[in-house]
Structure 1
Amino acid sequence: MKSVERAGARAWARALWRRIAEPGQWSRRRVAGECVLAVVLALLAAGTEALGGPGGLRTLLVAVAVATVSLLRRALPEAMLIAAGALGGSTGGGDLLLIVVAWSAGRRIDGVLRATVSLCASFAVYEAFDLWPWPEAAPAPAVFTAVGFLVLAVVPGLASRYWVQRRTLLRTLQERNLQLLRERQMIAGQARMRERQRIAQDMHDSLGHQLALITVHTGALEVDHELTGRQREAVAVLREASVAAMHELRAVVGILGDGTPGEAKPAAKGVAGIPSLVESAAAAGTPVHLAESGEPRPLAPTADHAGYRVAQEGLTNAYKHAPGAPITVSLRYEPDSLVVEVANGPVPQVGAGHRAAVSGGQGLTGLWERARLVGGMLHAGSTEDGGFRLAGVFPYGAGNGHGPGDAHGSGSTRTTSDSAVDDFWRQNGAAPLGEGEPVIDQLDPREELKSIMGTRKRSNGCLIIAGTGLLILVGLMAAALFGVGSLVDEADKGAIDPQDYASVKVGDPEAQVRHALPSGSSLLTSHARSKLPAKPAGSTCLVFLSTADEDDSATDTVYRFCFKDGKLADKREFHVKS
């Protein structure tokens, strides 16, 4: 049986040591802060003890006890709360320690019942040590002690407990909102996937059918013997364009179907297809020239396809808005990036009956989005000679990250010139569609959570702190008013004028003397009773302080009236140390 008890004691000691020396609780910063706090509390307690008493060994023991309790309050909150109550009641320097320990215990004691029991035990020892040695009538001192403990321990403990519970609730609400946002994103993603699949199916069924018909008819025209050679070349260009459109439609349908727009499909063309694009344009009669410089280097699939789209969009818009103008397509392999540029000369003079080409107004917007998604940049603007230039810059190795143009990334800048508009509208003087309309972007879930949870977080925290401080201030003011009133009442009951002392004679009836004097049951005279000589045998005595000013501030004049057999048997005047 003893071995089992010893094993249990050793296990308890090891668990206690782990709680005290747990690495997670004692970082270097916390060790320094705890040591500084313990030293400050110990010095304040020692200074208070030295001012209120002779000092010496008692002062040293109080300082050591305060420092020890301060250091152990995190590991043993219940025990240290009781110990702080004992130090606060028995010493003059333990009140500040009690505030610190109560605040720490309020957030670390698990369970309302344990916290209540710990506070009651701490109050009991605080009351016992504060009132020792107990006077004959202790109701008034007990009330004072209860109010003091309420301000020093109960209010900080409850405030700390409320603060921790509020932070826990706030953290739970944040996790719940994050979960709801993730679920909402999943639902929105599934809805987008279904819509993409529907669009892909519609494109395949409608556009695929029409392009197939165009391919068949142009193939039949190409072998028609009535066509001239130049007409057959034009029909061949149309057939090749329709076949290429079929391949690209299949690539787009595949991207829409599996919902991975960042992944380039094998059917999608890249920068290597730009020369054939230029050859097709030249075969159709467009004055276009291809210029290449630098050593070719591979790009990520998405960046490669984006470069091809820049050249394709530049040629298409030059056909529509600057027909007949010379076009230059440049591929420059720089040390860190590829530059794809399409520049056309000024728009030739056309007759009054010339009509501006119809455009959807979304060309450059789509290109800018492609460049942003692969970490590149896009520029569009007029040239010095009155022409137009479209250029895209695509870093090697970039493919799926958010680039400098990402609206949610750092350094967000749209590199498209403000003077440039979609589909080269400025070349023919027309105004762009949708200019000045606001851009609506999806809100980042983290920003949305910040707006949900942080709308009044700071103001609520300030209100809570202000409310707690106001509560403590009101409690202190109430305790001060109550204390002043009680002190006045105690002074009325425990002090008499020297003339009253002189007017009472030995042998006067007890009832007459008691009627002429106060009750005498005062807290102010409790310390003087222990310093007076023993009272006469078989008598009851009243003790009063003198209201006269003393020459020596360290000495009090005390009057004692002793009654026996219904008469005043003895009255004496004493001078005791205060």
Structure 2
Amino acid sequence: MWPARRIVGESLLSLALALPSAGFEYLDGGGAVRAVGVGLVTGLLSPLRRVLPATVLLATAAGSVVISGFAPLLLVAAWSAGRRIGGFGRASGVFALTYVLSLGSALWELPHFSLSLLTLSALLLLVTLIVPGLAGRYWAQRRTLTDTLGEYHAQLLREREIIAEHARIRERQRIAQDMHDSLGHQLALIAVHTGALEVDRELTGPQREAVGVLREASVAAMHELRDVVGVLRDGPEAPGPGDGPGAAGTDGEDPAPRSRGVAGVDGLVEASRKAGTAVELLRSGEARPLSPTVGHAAYRLVQEGLTNAHKHAPGASITVGLRYEPDSLVVEVANGPAAEPAHHGVASGGQGLTGLAERARLVGGMVHASPTADGGFRLAGVLPYTSPGDGFPEPPPGRATTTFVACADDFRAQSPADPSGQSDPVFDWNALPKELAKAMSRNKRRNGVAVGCGVSALIVLVLVIAVAVGGVLLVREADKAMIDPKQYDAVTVGQSEAEVRERLPRGDSFMAGDLEEGAPPVPKGAECLTLLSTEFGSSWDAEPVFRFCFRDGKLIEKKAFEV
């Protein structure tokens, strides 16, 4: 079924072709009934050219010889046939047959045969038939090449993404293995040694409490390292059962990891207090449910703020604020000036704040860090309650929710979705084999397209040469059959035939072969020479001619009239 836009376009084109066809036929003396019939046939053949391009082209070419109104339709039919006839050989055969049929019909209608007339008819058919067909063929081949390049481009994008994804997976696995082998071993040693030191009877109560804080921190770090290694190996996963509030272990040896959401902020504050730092936790506003990614970003922001305060301002008091605004959660960690010099032996990667800013950006928030007027430091973040892509503020129970952020040149939109509406962001197993098969099937056609382009270029070159030759022939034929009115006036009745014929063209041209209709009667026993005038007639269908009649070797009559 054609879309509405094509139906409207074809209707307008049929009307635009039918009206001139009917007008040409009427002006050619066909009568009103025949003109209407020609217009209706033209309007019917116009949309049929899309379905039967070869048939419509042959019918139009054969009819244009006897029906002058088919001339506009012939151009459109040739263009459409060049675009829609598949295969170079089939298209060449159809156009050759049409050309021969049209040329033969045109010569059949002529009153007499001449080589010049044959040449001009052949050139006229080249212009009205072959040139539109070549243009349509070129357009079709250009569209084919463009579509093929588009498919190859999509294929290259998919291959590039697959290679990049494989490289990322290998690098993540390598990093995970290095972290597990190096950091895991060191943290395990710290946990073992601090556990043994905690039960030493020589330690005082405060010392034992400090060692306990170190042991819990090392165990918690081991759990977080395990989670990070799992993410690097397997990708993001849903929070485990131990991630909820109150998930701290009770056996004293291997506590479960703290919650990484807002509920885990209490654990971070408590750990800092056990380390001997005065930490105040302030909450304001009505608590709102957060998406997992936003809650995790808030947890990391508090963790980074406390870590920086311990490293760069040891002994300073810290204030942690959680403020629930109508549209976002504001997280703030502020510390006063350092009570004692910072420990320079503490390693610092310098990437903490940069990572926090990126994490907040991914969930649609922002982070600000700056010194305070009293010499302290303030870290604050504004986080929306739902991150981009989350359709609900709280995920359904037991279902993992992952936020994906598409890059600027993400190719996933080029991969069609499956019936369920999902699409693999890396590899579309249904679309790619079809695309590859289609591209491979067109590899053989590329040679055909190249050959077609070469043959088309050769035909265009021959056509240009033929048009030039035809122009020269037409000028020569006009010199044989046309004179200026001054030449007519210079000839007088009574001059010898030899003298007059020497001053006039011979008139042996096809252009002067059918000028007797409507002419005055020829004098009895005279032989006449009829020539065309270089001037225009009194109307568009009147041709001015000059006739010179000879008898007994003298010019006995000259007449100027229109036929």
User: Which category of TM-score, normalised to the shorter sequence, fits these structures?
Assistant: 0.7 to 0.9
Q: Indicate how the Cα distance of structure 1 residues 474 and 371 shifts in structure 2: closer, same or farther if over 3 A, else same.
A: farther
Question: Aligned pair 1:57/2:44, yes or no?
Answer: no
Residue 407 of structure 1 and its aligned partner are, at CA, apart by 5.9
Q: Indicate how the Cα distance of structure 1 residues 482 and 57 shifts in structure 2: closer, same or farther if over 3 A, else same.
A: farther
Q: Indicate how the Cα distance of structure 1 residues 474 and 58 shifts in structure 2: closer, same or farther if over 3 A, else same.
A: farther
Q: What amino acid is the match of 1:210?
A: Q
Map 1:59-98; keep pairs closer than 5 Å.
Answer: 59-98=35-74
Map 1:149-188; keep pairs closer than 5 Å.
Answer: 149-188=125-164
Q: What amino acid is the match of 1:491?
A: A
Map 1:116-515; keep pairs closer than 5 Å.
Answer: 116-131=92-107, 133-258=109-234, 260-261=235-236, 263-264=238-239, 269-271=259-261, 272-345=263-336, 347-348=337-338, 358-383=347-372, 387-396=377-386, 398=390, 400-402=402-404, 408=408, 479=467, 485-495=472-482, 502=493
Q: What amino acid is the match of 1:400?
A: T
Where does structure 2 lack aligned partners over 5 or more consecutive residues?
Answer: 242-256, 391-400, 411-425, 428-455
Q: What amino acid is the match of 1:493?
A: K
- Maintained 8 Å contact 1:41/1:97: yes
Residue 53 of structure 1 and its aligned partner are, at CA, apart by 4.2
CA distance in 1, matches of 2:180, 2:559: 115
Residue 63 of structure 1 and its aligned partner are, at CA, apart by 2.2
For the residue of structure 2 that corresponds to 1:286, the secondary structure is coil
Q: Indicate how the Cα distance of structure 1 residues 562 and 38 shifts in structure 2: closer, same or farther if over 3 A, else same.
A: farther
Count of residue pairs brought into register by the alignment: 483
For the residue of structure 2 that corresponds to 1:43, the secondary structure is helix
- Maintained 8 Å contact 2:315/2:339: no
Q: Indicate how the Cα distance of structure 1 residues 128 and 33 shifts in structure 2: closer, same or farther if over 3 A, else same.
A: same
- Maintained 8 Å contact 1:493/1:521: yes
Residue 526 of structure 1 and its aligned partner are, at CA, apart by 2.6
What does the per-residue CA deviation read over 1:431-450, in whole Å, with 9 as the maximum and x for residues that have no partner? xxxxxxxxxxxxx99xxxxx
Q: Indicate how the Cα distance of structure 1 residues 181 and 356 shifts in structure 2: closer, same or farther if over 3 A, else same.
A: same
Q: What amino acid is the match of 1:285?
A: G
Q: Indicate how the Cα distance of structure 1 residues 551 and 577 shifts in structure 2: closer, same or farther if over 3 A, else same.
A: closer
Map 1:517-536; keep pairs closer than 5 Å.
Answer: 518-529=505-516
CA distance in 2, matches of 1:400, 1:32: 48
Residue 337 of structure 1 and its aligned partner are, at CA, apart by 4.0
Q: Indicate how the Cα distance of structure 1 residues 390 and 556 shifts in structure 2: closer, same or farther if over 3 A, else same.
A: closer
Residue 229 of structure 1 and its aligned partner are, at CA, apart by 0.9
For the residue of structure 2 that corresponds to 1:527, the secondary structure is coil
For the residue of structure 2 that corresponds to 1:520, the secondary structure is coil
TM-score, length basis structure 2: 0.73
What does the per-residue CA deviation read over 1:326-363, in whole Å, with 9 as the maximum and x for residues that have no partner? 22112234454443322223x24767x98696521110
Q: What amino acid is the match of 1:492?
A: D
Q: Indicate how the Cα distance of structure 1 residues 472 and 92 shifts in structure 2: closer, same or farther if over 3 A, else same.
A: farther
Percent of pairs with identical residues: 48
Q: Indicate how the Cα distance of structure 1 residues 356 and 101 shifts in structure 2: closer, same or farther if over 3 A, else same.
A: farther
Residue 524 of structure 1 and its aligned partner are, at CA, apart by 2.0
- Maintained 8 Å contact 1:237/1:284: yes
Residue 561 of structure 1 and its aligned partner are, at CA, apart by 6.8
Residue 161 of structure 1 and its aligned partner are, at CA, apart by 1.5
Residue 52 of structure 1 and its aligned partner are, at CA, apart by 4.8
What does the per-residue CA deviation read over 1:395-448, in whole Å, with 9 as the maximum and x for residues that have no partner? 237453356xx76399xxxxxxxxxxxxxxxxxxxxxxxxxxxxxxxxx99xxx
Structure number with greater CO (CA < 8 Å, separation at least 6) is 2
For the residue of structure 2 that corresponds to 1:65, the secondary structure is helix
CA distance in 1, matches of 2:60, 2:258: 77
Q: What amino acid is the match of 1:489?
A: R
For the residue of structure 2 that corresponds to 1:83, the secondary structure is helix
CA distance in 1, matches of 2:183, 2:537: 114
For the residue of structure 1 that corresponds to 2:113, the secondary structure is coil
What does the per-residue CA deviation read over 1:187-233, in whole Å, with 9 as the maximum and x for residues that have no partner? 33223222222222222222111111111111111111111111111
CA distance in 1, matches of 2:500, 2:68: 39
Residue 560 of structure 1 and its aligned partner are, at CA, apart by 7.5
- Maintained 8 Å contact 1:520/1:542: no
CA distance in 2, matches of 1:78, 1:131: 23
Deviates more, 1:196-205 or 1:263-272: 263-272
Q: Indicate how the Cα distance of structure 1 residues 382 and 90 shifts in structure 2: closer, same or farther if over 3 A, else same.
A: farther
CA distance in 1, matches of 2:517, 2:38: 25
- Maintained 8 Å contact 2:49/2:56: yes
- Maintained 8 Å contact 2:272/2:279: yes
For the residue of structure 2 that corresponds to 1:224, the secondary structure is coil
